[in-house]
Chain A
C-alpha cells in the first residue's frame, strides 16, 4: 500500500533542482510516470536516500467518468446538497487534471481561502460555510450547496479560481 503522500515522504524534499525539476514533487510526478530515473537526483544517486522503498502509487479504483452527480451523504443533514463533478478526460490520465504544485506555489497565495496540498493532490476552498474540494484527477466536490443553482455558481467560481492549474 503506497499513497503518493507516502512516496513523497520518502523523497529528499530538498527542492534543490539538481535533477532539472523545480521541486521534488515535480520530480516525483515525473518519476511516477516513468519520465525520470531516480538516479538523476543526487541524494538517491549517492545513496543518502533509499529508492527501494518507493513504488508507483496504486491507480485509483475507478476514475470517475466525466459528468455530474448529486450525493447526500447524511440523511439527517437534509440541508446539505453535495454535487460532484468530474472533469477528467483520457488526456489527463497521466499527470492528472490539476497541477497542484503550480496551484500551491503560484496561485495559492493570491486566494486566501484556498488551501492546497500537493502531497495529497487536494485543494480546498471554504467560504460562507460551503466547501469546495478539487482533486488532482479532475474531480470537484461542492459541499453544502443551497441547491442546484447555487452549486453551479460555486462550481463556476471555483473553476475560474483554479483554471491556470489545469494541466
Chain B
C-alpha cells in the first residue's frame, strides 16, 4: 500500500486547487529529487571526469553513482546505460548509430510516438530502409501473426513502444522481441511510458535497446537514458562525438572510448542526471509494485465512472485490467482543447488535448484527426481527484457541449 497523502507532501507543485492529470506528458518532481540537485549546485558544482580537485572528484562520483542507480532501476549493467537528454535523443541515437544498409527492413507499430516514427521515416530517406508498420485493432490490441508476417530475415530492427501514450495499452514487447531475435533482428523499446509506472527489467524483456525519459518518472527535465546491450556497443556509432568520447586523438586519427562514455559527447547534464538517480531511488523506496497497484486502483475508478459522462467516446481497451493509467477520450460536440480549457478553468484540472505526438495513430487508427483529450494518473493522484475529474467532465458534457 502506498500513502498518497504523505507522497503528495513531497511534491511542491501540488497546491490546493491544482489537479495534475498530465503525467504522461511530464511528471511532477518531488522535493528529495530537487534537493539532490540543489546540493550539487551548492556543494560540489564542478565538471565531471576531468578535474583532479575534490569537488570535481565528488561530482564524478555522484554522477557515476547516479548512472549505477538508474541502470539498476531498469535491470541494466552500469556500462550499458548511456545518460542522454530524453527518449527522443535516445531513439535518434539508435536510428543513426546502427549501421543500416539499403533495403534493410525496420518494423514499427501504428501506435508509435512521433519520436519513434519520424526518425525512421528520415532514416528511410537517408539509407533506403524498407519501413513496415504493424497495425493494431481500434482498442489497441495486436495480433502476433501480424508481427510474424512483418518481421522477415531482412529485418534489421524492430522498434516498438512498451506502452502507448494515447491508448494506454501495453504492447506485447516480450513476444515481439522473441520473434525478432529468431529472425536475427535487433529490438529497440521506447519505454517512455513504462519505466515510470511499472518494474522494468531489460534482461527479462529481451531487448537490445531501451529508451526512456527522466522527466516522466519524477526526475528533472533534461535527463534520460538509453540502454544498449554491452556486446552491441562495438557496432553502434555515437550520435555526437567530441570531448569526453575519445581515448586518443592525433592530427589524422581518433580512437573512441569504450562503454557509455563513447556516446556522451561534451559536458553532460550533471545536476539533472544526479536528479534522475535520486528519482530512481525515490520510486524504488516507494516500490514500483505499490505504484502500479495504486495506479490500477485509480484506473479502475476512472473506467467505472467515465461511462457516467454523457456523449463520451473513450479510446483504448475497455477493461481496466488491460490499461495503464492513461485515458484518451472525446466529448461529443466539443473540441478537445475546449474540454481541456473548461476543466482547467472550472476546477484547476490539467489535462492534455490535441494529437499527443501520435498523428499516425490518431488519423489512421482512431480516425480523429482533430485530436482527443488525454488524462493520466500517477502515484500522487487520488481517488477524490478522479471523482472531481469525472464530476466536472459530466457537468461540461451536460452544459456546454
Identity of the chain B residue whose Cβ is nearest the Cβ of A74 in the assembled complex: B354
* A128 CB contacts on chain B under 8 angstroms: none
Asked if A143 meets B337 with Cβ closer than 8 Å, knowing A5-B391, A73-B353, A120-B399, the reply is: yes
User: What 1/0 mask marks residues of chain B from 337 to 359 whose CB sits below 8 Å from any chain A CB?
Assistant: 11001100111100001110101
Whether B399 and A61, one on each chain, are in contact in the complex, defined by CB atoms closer than 8 angstroms, is no
Asked if A76 meets B359 with Cβ closer than 8 Å, knowing A1-B16, A1-B17, A6-B388, the reply is: yes
Nearest-neighbour CB distance to chain A for B247, whole angstroms, equals 41
How many B residues have CB within 8 A of the partner chain? Answer: 30
A102 at the interface (CB under 8 A from B): no
A89 at the interface (CB under 8 A from B): no
* B338 CB contacts on chain A under 8 angstroms: 124, 131, 133, 143
Q: For the complex, give the distance between the alpha carbons of A18 and B89 in Å.
A: 65
Q: For the complex, give the distance between the alpha carbons of A141 and B396 in Å.
A: 16
Whether B399 and A3, one on each chain, are in contact in the complex, defined by CB atoms closer than 8 angstroms, is no
A121 at the interface (CB under 8 A from B): yes
* A3 CB contacts on chain B under 8 angstroms: 346-348, 388, 392
Whether B345 and A121, one on each chain, are in contact in the complex, defined by CB atoms closer than 8 angstroms, is yes
Whether B337 and A82, one on each chain, are in contact in the complex, defined by CB atoms closer than 8 angstroms, is yes
A25 at the interface (CB under 8 A from B): no
* A139 CB contacts on chain B under 8 angstroms: 345
CB-contacts of A1-53 with B (<8 A): 1, 3-6, 9
* B391 CB contacts on chain A under 8 angstroms: 5-6, 9
Nearest-neighbour CB distance to chain B for A74, whole angstroms, equals 3
B6 at the interface (CB under 8 A from A): no
Whether B17 and A123, one on each chain, are in contact in the complex, defined by CB atoms closer than 8 angstroms, is no
Choice from B17, B341, B355, B357 contacting A77 with Cβ under 8 Å: B355
Choice from A1, A117, A135 contacting B399 with Cβ under 8 Å: A117
Q: For the complex, give the distance between the alpha carbons of A9 and B345 in Å.
A: 17
B400 at the interface (CB under 8 A from A): yes
CB-contacts of B372-401 with A (<8 A): 384-385, 388, 391-392, 395-396, 399-401
* B342 CB contacts on chain A under 8 angstroms: 120, 122, 124, 133
Asked if A58 meets B399 with Cβ closer than 8 Å, knowing A73-B337, A133-B342, the reply is: no
A119 at the interface (CB under 8 A from B): yes
Q: For the complex, give the distance between the alpha carbons of A9 and B357 in Å.
A: 37
Q: For the complex, give the distance between the alpha carbons of A74 and B354 in Å.
A: 6
Identity of the chain B residue whose Cβ is nearest the Cβ of A117 in the assembled complex: B399
Whether B371 and A120, one on each chain, are in contact in the complex, defined by CB atoms closer than 8 angstroms, is no
A105 at the interface (CB under 8 A from B): no
**Most A-side CB within 10 Å, residue of B346, B347, B348, B355:** B346
Nearest-neighbour CB distance to chain A for B69, whole angstroms, equals 34
Q: For the complex, give the distance between the alpha carbons of A119 and B392 in Å.
A: 10
User: What 1/0 mask marks residues of chain A from 145 to 160 whose CB sits below 8 Å from any chain B CB?
Assistant: 0000000000000000
A115 at the interface (CB under 8 A from B): yes
* A115 CB contacts on chain B under 8 angstroms: 399-401
* A4 CB contacts on chain B under 8 angstroms: 346
Choice from B17, B337, B400 contacting A61 with Cβ under 8 Å: B17
Choice from B17, B335, B357, B392 contacting A60 with Cβ under 8 Å: B17
Choice from A1, A120, A123 contacting B384 with Cβ under 8 Å: A1
Whether B392 and A131, one on each chain, are in contact in the complex, defined by CB atoms closer than 8 angstroms, is no
Whether A120 and B385, one on each chain, are in contact in the complex, defined by CB atoms closer than 8 angstroms, is no
Q: For the complex, give the distance between the alpha carbons of A74 and B385 in Å.
A: 26
Identity of the chain A residue whose Cβ is nearest the Cβ of B355 in the assembled complex: A76
Nearest-neighbour CB distance to chain B for A142, whole angstroms, equals 11
Nearest-neighbour CB distance to chain A for B101, whole angstroms, equals 32
B18 at the interface (CB under 8 A from A): yes
A91 at the interface (CB under 8 A from B): no
B19 at the interface (CB under 8 A from A): yes
CB-contacts of A90-129 with B (<8 A): 115-117, 119-124
* CB-based closest 9 A-B pairs: A117-B399, A58-B17, A74-B354, A3-B347, A120-B346, A115-B400, A124-B400, A135-B345, A117-B400
Interface residues of A (CB under 8 A from B): 1, 3-6, 9, 58-61, 73-74, 76-77, 82, 115-117, 119-124, 131, 133, 135, 139, 141, 143-144
Jot down 16 A-B pairs with beta carbons below 8 A, ordered by A.
A3-B388, A5-B391, A60-B17, A61-B348, A76-B354, A76-B359, A82-B337, A117-B395, A120-B392, A120-B395, A120-B399, A122-B345, A123-B400, A124-B338, A133-B345, A144-B335
Interface residues of B (CB under 8 A from A): 16-19, 334-335, 337-338, 341-342, 345-348, 353-355, 357, 359, 371, 384-385, 388, 391-392, 395-396, 399-401
Given A1-B388, A119-B395, A120-B345, 4 other A-B contacts at CB below 8 A? Answer: A5-B346, A73-B353, A117-B396, A135-B345
